[in-house]
C-alpha cells in the first residue's frame, strides 16, 4: 500500500479520511524502490496485501532514526523522517507510529507527508507548522514521489485530514 496524490489515478484507490488530494492505493515496491499499482490482490486477497505492506512499513519505521529538531531552549519542536523507501509515508498508518511519536509529542500529532520518503511530525499544540510550511511545500514540489500538502491529525481515533500547509489551497 502506498500514499500518493489523487492525480496518480490508481486503478484501485481510496481517499484518506477527510482528504481531497491524498489517496491510499495498493502497489508493489521492488528492492530498487520502484513502484507499480496493483489491479488485483493476487494470492491471499487484499487483506494479505494490506498486512504485508503494514509489516514492511513498520519494519522500516523501526529502523529509521528521525531528525529531532529543538528550539534554542532545547524544547522538541518536530521530528523529520527520511528514508530511501517509498514505504515511509505508509508507516504513518502503522500502530507503532502513534506510539513512538506520542511519547515525544503527546497523544495527538500533526503530520505532513510531502513525499513518500519524507514525513514531518509535530505536536498538535504549540507547533511550528507556519514557520515550516514553505520548506514542506518545497519538499512536495521537488520530490519525484510527491504525496500531499495536506495536514493530518493522528490520534487514538485514527488519521484524518485537518487542513493544508499550501497557502494557495486555503
Using one digit for the tens of pLDDT, what is the confidence trace for 16-46? 999 989 988 888 777 777 777 777 777 777 7
Q: Give the global pTM.
A: 0.90
CA distance 111 to 126: 14
Residues 57/34, Cβ–Cβ less than 8 Å = no
What pLDDT digit, counting tens, does each position of 51-106 carry? 888 898 999 999 999 999 999 999 999 999 999 999 999 999 999 999 999 999 99
- Exposed (0-12), middle (13-18) or buried (19+): which is 131, by Cβ within 10 Å? exposed
pLDDT of residue 92: 95
* Whole-number Å distance between alpha carbons of 1 and 28: 7
Instruction: Tell me the pLDDT tens digit for each residue of 104-132.
Output: 999 999 999 999 999 999 999 878 899 99
With H, G, I as helix, E, B as strand and everything else as coil, classify residue 83: coil
Q: Does the structure show a pLDDT above 70 at 170?
A: no
How far apart CA 153 and CA 170 sit, in angstroms, is: 17
Amino acid at each position: 500500500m502506498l500514499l500518493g496524490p489523487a492525480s496518480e489515478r490508481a486503478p484501485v484507490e481510496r481517499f484518506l479520511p477527510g482528504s481531497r488530494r491524498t489517496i491510499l492505493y495498493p502497489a508493489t515496491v521492488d528492492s530498487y524502490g520502484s513502484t507499480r499499482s496493483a489491479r488485483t490482490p493476487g494470492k491471499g486477497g487484499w487483506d494479505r496485501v494490506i498486512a504485508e505492506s503494514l509489516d514492511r512499513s513498520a519494519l522500516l519505521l523501526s529502523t529509521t532514526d528521525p531528525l529531532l529538531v529543538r528550539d534554542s531552549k532545547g524544547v522538541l519542536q518536530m521530528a523529520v523522517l527520511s528514508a530511501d523507501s517509498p514505504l515511509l509515508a505508509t508507516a504513518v498508518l502503522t500502530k507503532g507510529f502513534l506510539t513512538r511519536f506520542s511519547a515525544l509529542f503527546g497523544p495527538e500529532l500533526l503530520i505532513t507527508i510531502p513525499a513518500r520518503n519524507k514525513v514531518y511530525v509535530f505536536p498538535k499544540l504549540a507547533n511550528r507548522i507556519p514557520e515550516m510550511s514553505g520548506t514542506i511545500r518545497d519538499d512536495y514540489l521537488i520530490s519525484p514521489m510527491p504525496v500531499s500538502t495536506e495536514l493530518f491529525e493522528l490520534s487514538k481515533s485514527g488519521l484524518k485530514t485537518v487542513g493544508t500547509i499550501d497557502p494557495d489551497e486555503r
